[in-house]
Structure 1
Amino acid sequence: MGKWFRAAALALIAPLMLAGCLFMPGKFESTMNVRADRSFTFTYKGEVLAVDLAGMTGQMFAGLAAMGDKKEGEEGADTAPKGPSAEDVAKQDADNRELAAKLSKEPGYNKVEYRGNNVFYVDFSTSGTLTHSFVYPYNQDAGMVLPWVAIELRGKDMVRVKTPGFAKQDSSATGGMSSPEESKTDGVFTLTTDAEVVSQNNEEGGTKAGGVTTIRWTLTPATEDAPTAVLRVKSL
């Protein structure tokens, strides 16, 4: 029974262990400027929080395995997952400092600083032309594979700006599992554009001055709808 239970538990959590780390926004300010000619500029300044999925799921597996080893009706010892050891914390800090050093050399990262307790400070900015989609953050080597911000090309003359990482994550974003840690999102996302705004989901709407529309979303852990807007731009 114990061996079967351990095998079943491992099968359930193995996909999460492979994910490595999950990165979440903390306190931040982010801007996106999309021009009608398809040029754009994106910035993110603020906290990035790292969640060690491998460590969390490993602790979970140890607890489940211990439960599986218990005989029916046996009281046994407390099998609740235990927190990381001092050695684990030191290793995670070392890995995070190494990650910060690597990211600081990547294009767009003006500053990357590890501040301890799995918290980074990031100053990122980039500009380009929307002849292709754009996502942030995305870095396979660093394990950043679940983008918070995306611009998708929609047909020949429209783009959709969406920020799924700035709102509550649905289960599809994490392989059918809910987020392992409560959101600490505390930020503002501002979209400015001189393009036609076809649709957007800010209940307060936007403001327009000098031919430029500004839409500002205030984001908290309770935010359910990811900031989204569809814009009509120069045709390809």
Structure 2
Amino acid sequence: MRGLARIAGALAGLLTLSACLVTPGQFESSLDIRADRRFAFAYKGEILASDTSPAGWTGVDPDADMQDGEAAEPTFLPVAAQAEEDFSANGADDDDAQMQAIAAALSREKGFRSARYLGDHTFAIDYATSGRLDHAFLFPFNIDAQIILPFVAVELRGDDKVRVKAPGFAADFDKSQGPGGLGGAGDKAAKALNGRFILTTDAQIISQNQEEGAQDTPGGQRIVWTVTPLSSDAPMATLRLAP
């Protein structure tokens, strides 16, 4: 679980470039939870960085002249952060150089087996971690930027239950990041969503929202959610662990 804290600094740079947000693109992700609380998580695929400036979300330049009586577009307040890594590309303002610096920083963090910048604010990520569920798990998260937008969250509920929810693996997650659900970057991110999220477990499945249900496997049960731009419901399941 310490690996989560170690990636916070690197993700801070990604989240704070022009107050950007991160969303999934094409991906394959898996989460294995054992009844004895052992877990393993992996994410391999794209992460998209979206500009949250008013122009980035709405396509409207906030500095453009407004006609009398015309309503102003909603705006975002800048996100303040104190990142440990320097993502300024030696003081240069070049956006591409900053993105390359972030990819290099992520690749040095525990859990990131590789992190490459592909251009157009798109990163290719290969991440994997494992541990024990003695407290909540989030991926990705950033504490320095005072913002948490998890693709996947595992929450402990009581002494013997965990709830898994993957809000990032639903189109509504991407669209909701824009002000008032407006178009722009949020719609573009939603259209890029394409992947699978696989949950495997030997714990008791109390509830889940995949309509085809769980499949029996030699190691327990398996639930597969196919994620597309039409996916409106985030993958979700509640498990009962061993006492």
Q: How does 1:37-116 map to 2 (within 5 A)?
A: 37-54=36-53, 56=56, 60-63=61-64, 66-67=65-66, 70=67, 91-116=94-119
Q: Which residue of 2 aligns with 1:225?
A: 233
Question: TM-score, normalised on structure 2?
Answer: 0.74
Q: Given residue 229 of structure 2, which amino acid in structure 1 is its aligned partner?
A: P
Question: Per-residue displacement from partner, 1:169-213 (whole Å, max 9, x unpaired)?
Answer: 359964863263321110000000000000000001111133510
Equivalenced residues, count: 199
- Please identify the structure whose Cα radius of gyration is greater: 1
Q: Which residue of 2 aligns with 1:181?
A: 186
Q: Percent identity?
A: 44
Q: Which residue of 2 aligns with 1:129?
A: 132
- 1:26 and 1:186 in contact (8 A); partners too: yes
Give the alignment partner of residue 191 of structure 1, picking from 192, 199, 222: 199
Q: Given residue 156 of structure 1, which amino acid in structure 2 is its aligned partner?
A: D
Unaligned runs of 5+ in 1: 1-16, 74-89
Q: Given residue 29 of structure 1, which amino acid in structure 2 is its aligned partner?
A: E
> How big is the alpha-carbon RMSD for the aligned residues of Structure 1 and Structure 2?
2.8
The alignment status of 1:27 with 2:30, answered yes or no, reads no
Distance 1:227 1:209 in 2: 20
Unaligned runs of 5+ in 2: 1-15, 71-92
- Cα distance, 1:91 vs. partner? 2.2
Question: TM-score, normalised on structure 1?
Answer: 0.76
Question: Per-residue displacement from partner, 1:87-133 (whole Å, max 9, x unpaired)?
Answer: xxx82212211111111122111100001011100000000111100
Distance 2:200 2:69 in 1: 62
Question: Per-residue displacement from partner, 1:137-194 (whole Å, max 9, x unpaired)?
Answer: 0134578731110000011100001000000235996486326332111000000000
Distance 2:163 2:26 in 1: 25
- 2:167 and 2:173 in contact (8 A); partners too: no
Distance 2:69 2:104 in 1: 51
Structure 1 segments, 4+ long, off by >6 Å, are: none
Q: 1:140 to 1:104 in 2, by over 3 A?
A: farther
